[in-house]
Each structure stands twice: as C-alpha cells, then as structure tokens.
Amino acid sequence: MWTDWKKSMKWFSILTVLEKILLFIIFISFLAILPITLDISYLYWGLLVVILIIIELIQVTLFMWIFLMDTSGSRKESLRYIKIWRNFTNSLPKNLTNEISQYSPILIMGENDHSARRLIDTYTDWQNFLLKRNIKYEINDKLPIYVIHRNIVISLPDSFHKESSYTKHADMKELISALSSHPNPRLLIVLDIEKGFSLSEKATTAHFEKFNDIITTFCGAIGCDEISIALTSMNKLHGYDSFIEYFANKKMPVEMIARLDETPDIGKNLSVYEQYLSSALTSISADDFLDILSFFQEAPKHLTFVNHYIRKFSYYGFLKRVRVFFTSDKGHEINISNPFDGRSDQRSGRFSRIIRGK
C-alpha cells in the first residue's frame, strides 16, 4: 500500500512538472512571434527568454525540493500507525483473534498524552484484562492501544496534532480502514474542565481546530453520527464529590446527550437531576446536601465552554448528537459515567429520559 502511494505521488509530481513545461513552451512559442509583429530587437527578446527560463527553473526546482522534503520527512513516517495496529493484532493469541475482532474500537484524543492515559488508567482495567487473557503486548507510545472488556482503545498521541494536514489524513485513513471492520467505532474527545472554563469562546474555537481534521476524516469515513466528550477534573468543582457519590449510591447514570438540532445547554441538562434530590436529606448529611445544591448552582457557568464546543460540532452535517460524560481523578463515576462503557446505548425508560434532559 505504501509503495503504491509513493508511485502515485511520484506520477502526480511528474505530471505537474510536465504540465508546467508544456505551458512554458506554449508561452515561449507565443513570444517567438513578438519580434516580427512588434519589431522588437532579437537581443532584447533573447534576454527576456533567458530570464523567463531562469524563473521557470527556479519554480520547478522549488516544487521538487518541497515535494522531496515532504516525502523524506513527514511522509516517510506516514502510515506508521497502521503498522503499529498490525503489530498489535498479530501479537494477539489466535484463540482471541475472532473474539477481539468483535470489540468496538474507541479512538481517543485529548489535550495531551497524559490526560488521555490518566482517563484510561482510571476508568478501565486494561492491565488486569491482559493478565487474565494471557495477552502479552507492549504498549507503543507512538500509538498506545489498550484492550478492555468489549472495547479496544486507541489513543492518538499529542505529536499527531503537530503533523501536517496531509500526513494526518493519510495516517488516519489507513487506520480507520482497519478499524471499520470492527463494530461501532467511536470517537472520544478528552477535555479538562479546570482548563476549559477559563477559555473564551474565541479561544475555544482556536482549540477546537486541533481536532477538526480528525473528526472530519474519522466520521466521514466511518459514517458516525455521534461523538463523545469526557470532561476530566470535575472534582475540582465545589460539591461535585457529594453530587456524584449520591447518584452513584442510587446507581443512576450521570451522562448527558446534546442533540445538535437544538441549542446546546449542558447546564440545563444537568438541572434535570435536581428532581431526584427529594429523598436526599434522609440518606445524606445536611452538609453534603448543601454541597450538591452548590454544585447545581455553580456548575452551569463552568460548563459554558462545553456548549461552545458542541455548537462547533453542529457545523458537521453528519453529526446528530454529542454524549457528555463527567469524570474525575478519583474514578467514583466508573459505574454511572464511564466513557468506555457501551451500555449507555442500551439504556431505556427513565434513565434514557434523564440523560437526554427530557
């Protein structure tokens, strides 16, 4: 595949150069009749032709230099992700190959490598899963891949966002082609609530551009109509620990779905949970109850930047909704707000109405 790509790009560059040379010959032929029609000295005409030839040679040289630098640099590393993916699949025990082929891949990208890795370590048990299944696979930092129950998590490294758009597209296209053979591929974006609520709408727009190419390529190829957001460091908000502990004890899911055909308001979605505090005073302390009320009052203004993000997602015609999860460093939400848990798609009835803000 890599060899075919290089050949096609080589022919593309050759055709481009030949096209420029052909146009140049036509242009020179046109100039050849000027001395006759306009009575211009052949000496001046010759100098003009020499100058044009020099300019054209400089253009062709620059074109070829840029192309060769690109192929020897970033494109030389291109498609390395598909190689890592194949090394991963080849390392799996044969008796697990068919089973894991039915796992759903989750492509995760965050503000940095640390935020994504911390989320994976907190909300999955990938080490124990590998141990129980006797899977021996060394995590590759260039493209970390984790196997968890029902899912394969692929974490895009921060270096991926620093590459050229062309390299991103080529790498992503090959990787997505491999992931598409698995059921229900998903895209998960990790955002730090502590950093996010200090961003203006303009800064949020600039930050969003970091993920733009990947969203377009992934969802355009897979045909997904939904992406997920995991908000980290939620425990930094006053009252959140009491809030999440209360609903964890009630085993009630805490996640929100924003429909992109409506004006997003995560704060409004969150307020739906207030109706379930009626029995709180009989089961929790007064201080915890007041902390929960404080969280309901303060959280919406800190979640404003999330609404800005969701509005950006509405510009994609293929996306219909965004699923938002609350997470923290402590992982108390692992059973009620877990971005790696696919069971949320199967919830119905009362829980379904809650998370949609109905």
- For residue 339, how many other CB atoms are within 10 A of its CB? 28
The average pLDDT across 73-87 equals: 69
Which residues on neighbouring strands pair with residue 106, listed in sequence order? 153, 186
* DSSP class of 158: G
The C-alpha atoms of residue 158 and residue 293 are separated, in whole angstroms, by: 37
Residues 6+ apart with CB under 8 A from 357: 256, 257, 268, 269, 272
Q: Which of 140, 229, 154 lies closest to 185, judged by CA?
A: 154
Tell me the mean pLDDT in the region 65-77: 50
The answer, yes or no, to whether residue 71 has pLDDT greater than 50, is no
Alpha carbons 325 and 256: distance in angstroms, whole number: 7
pTM score:
0.73
Mean pLDDT of all residues belonging to the chain: 78
Let me know: does 241 contact 235? Beta carbons within 8 Å: yes
The pLDDT, as a whole number, for residue 125 is 87
pLDDT at 296 over 80: yes
Helix (H) or strand (E) holding 66: helix 42-72
HSE-CB of 90 using CA atoms within 13 angstroms: 6
Please tell me the predicted confidence (pLDDT) of residue 23: 63
3-state secondary structure of 339: coil
Mean pLDDT is highest, among 28-42, 61-75, 213-227, 342-356, for 213-227
Q: Which residue has the higher pLDDT, 204 or 12?
A: 204
pLDDT at 248: 92
Report residue 108: phi and psi, to 5°.
Answer: -115, 135
pLDDT of residue 222: 84
Instruction: Quickly count: other Cβ atoms within 10 Å of residue 190's Cβ.
Output: 24
